[in-house]
Amino acid sequence: MDSHFQLYIDGQFEPGAATFASVNPATGEAWARMPEARTEQVNRAVEAANRALTDSAWAGLTASARGKLLYKLAGLVEKAASQLAEIETNDTGKIIRETSSQIAYVAEYYRYYGGIADKLEGSSIPVDKPDMQVWLERQPVGVVAAIVPWNSQLFLSAVKLGPALAAGCTVVLKASEEAPGPLLEFAKLVHEAGFPPGVVNVITGFGPECGAVLSSHPKVDKVAFTGGPETARHIVSNTSNNLAKVSLELGGKSPFIVFADTDIQSAVNAQVAAIFAASGQSCVAGSRLLIEASVKERFLALLVERVSRIRVGSPNEMTTEYGPLCTERQLRNIEKVVANSVRQGARVLAGGNALQRDGYYYAPTILDCTGVSNADSITTELFGPVLSVDTFTTEQEAIDKANSTVYGLAAGIFTTNLTRAHRVSRRVRSGIVWINTYRAVSPLVPFGGFGLSGHGREGGMAAALEYTTTKSVWLRTSDEPISDPFVMR
């Protein structure tokens, strides 16, 4: 069993206070022992980040020098992509085909924010007092607690670390206890890039201790969280202690709207990507198909046929298209929700069962929920490979059904009618709308949701500003001595 993984605190690698087994979801067997950070180590990581924040080794660097460190990190991530991908695949079960291409692209996020570091400009204020000069400096918001889930974790941490480091913040990054291997390995690249001790700390441990101590720590200034809404409630309540700024990237129940005028075959392929890529374990999964009634039969026939050809297999094989779920808990939850939905009247068009093989495989599943729009599979985020189908006959009905959710992360709209594409995209309540495509991301484009999908945006220039705050600096330009000390100036 692999047991080389360590925590990274204050520029040093160290073992955890305890260890725990990490399971390979493709086999159901433990493959590595991971270090667990308990309270003392979490506190030490935050203290180190707090010291580094104002230490000249980091605070004394020019913004351009911070940018160069990020460029260096980007290059190292690119070089280590295949090794990181292999660890991520072993730890999460995500197919190597996706982990290797996603990690190579993660380097672009560090490069993008490296370029932004010296463009976070302040401003000068033409203040209404003749003997004063006032300017605004952009300052780092402080110590950032970055808390991420197990899926796409190199990507989800890059959208936090990139802007945080560009802005001059320091970070304690907490990897998920479900699969911490990739981020613990990534810490070696941070070290090699030459960030001063304490600027980036990488730890892992369990939510109720490690996560709670971190997010409530009095020296944490911002919590950047990605995960589920239930955990988000804990985070918000933990931050009542330190009153830290919070950004939340949560789940979704994203609609995939198909109008009859679209290229049906192309929309079918996009729907497969939207719900069955990463075995549906994606926050933006297009898990609710809303199909115009007149093309329902044709669309579903093509979809079921395409799904029957998905290559299920070992996630370590480059030819595999579909792997296991990350945890047994998820597998059991999906079994329960699908069984409930069928009891409520949903009809199984494909899958609907766990696969008879080692590991946590669940079949790509399509449920026809026409007429049962309150089925559990339509209302709850499953974070798995289950597509619920419903129909509409008018544009307004499509919009109403798309918006009938507590979430609002993403939406897909498939139509060749340009004016309709604009109308519908404006009225769907979601942070991302993809028209005639799905699951496209870029470092330049903000990402985030409405409603229970959270708040705050990651990606783009605006995200970098989220890691800054302003400092107003007043300079008195008069040579006259200050006279009356009892009046406000």
Name the residues annotated as catalytic. Answer: 249
Q: How far is CA 261 from CA 98, 392, 414, 416, in A?
A: 31, 14, 8, 6
Q: Does 16 bind ligand NAD (CB under 6 A)?
A: no
What is the CB neighbour count within 10 angstroms for residue 137? 14
* 123-125 sheet: strands from edge to edge: 123-125, 132-140, 468-476
Q: Give the footprint of ligand NAD on residues 353-392 (CB under 6 A).
A: 381, 383
Which CB, 207 or 313, lies closer to ligand NAD? Answer: 207
- Residue 367 three-state SS: strand
Which CB, 283 or 464, lies closer to ligand NAD? Answer: 283
CB of 468 to ligand NAD, least distance (A): 21
CA distance 448 to 475: 39
Which CB, 135 or 206, lies closer to ligand NAD? Answer: 206
> What six digits make up the tokens of 162?
């990139």
Rg (CA), the chain: 24
CB of 447 to ligand NAD, least distance (A): 6
Q: Does 177 bind ligand NAD (CB under 6 A)?
A: yes
Q: Give the footprint of ligand NAD on residues 113-152 (CB under 6 A).
A: 147-152
Q: 443-465 b/e with 16+ CB inside 10 Å = b? A: beebbbbbbbbbebbbbbeebbb
Which CB, 26 or 156, lies closer to ligand NAD? Answer: 156
Binding mask of the shown chain, residues 225 to 244, with x at each position contacting ligand NAD by CB under 6 A: -xxx--x--xx--x------
| Kind and range of the H or E run holding 273 | helix 264-276
Q: Does 108 bind ligand NAD (CB under 6 A)?
A: no
Q: Does 341 bind ligand NAD (CB under 6 A)?
A: no
Which CB, 196 or 443, lies closer to ligand NAD? Answer: 443
Q: Give the footprint of ligand NAD on residues 248-287 (CB under 6 A).
A: 249-251, 283
Among 69, 81, 156, 164, binds ligand NAD (CB under 6 A): 156
CB of 16 to ligand NAD, least distance (A): 14
For CA atoms 77, 78, 81, 83, give the dihedral sign: negative
Which CB, 250 or 372, lies closer to ligand NAD? Answer: 250
CA distance 388 to 271: 12
C-alpha 453, offset from chain centre: 11
Q: Does 176 bind ligand NAD (CB under 6 A)?
A: yes
CB of 273 to ligand NAD, least distance (A): 16
Among 88, 178, 376, 390, binds ligand NAD (CB under 6 A): 178
CB of 5 to ligand NAD, least distance (A): 15
CA distance 467 to 143: 10
Q: Does 207 bind ligand NAD (CB under 6 A)?
A: yes
Instruction: State phi, psi for 479 to the nearest 5 degrees.
Output: -90, -10
CA distance 166 to 443: 14
CB 450 within 8 A of CB 243: no
CA distance 245 to 141: 9
Q: Does 221 bind ligand NAD (CB under 6 A)?
A: no
Query: Running DSSP on this structure, what letter comes out for residue 458?
Result: B
Q: Which residues bind ligand NAD (CB under 6 A)?
A: 147-152, 156, 174, 176-178, 207-208, 211-212, 215, 226-228, 231, 234-235, 238, 249-251, 283, 381, 383, 409
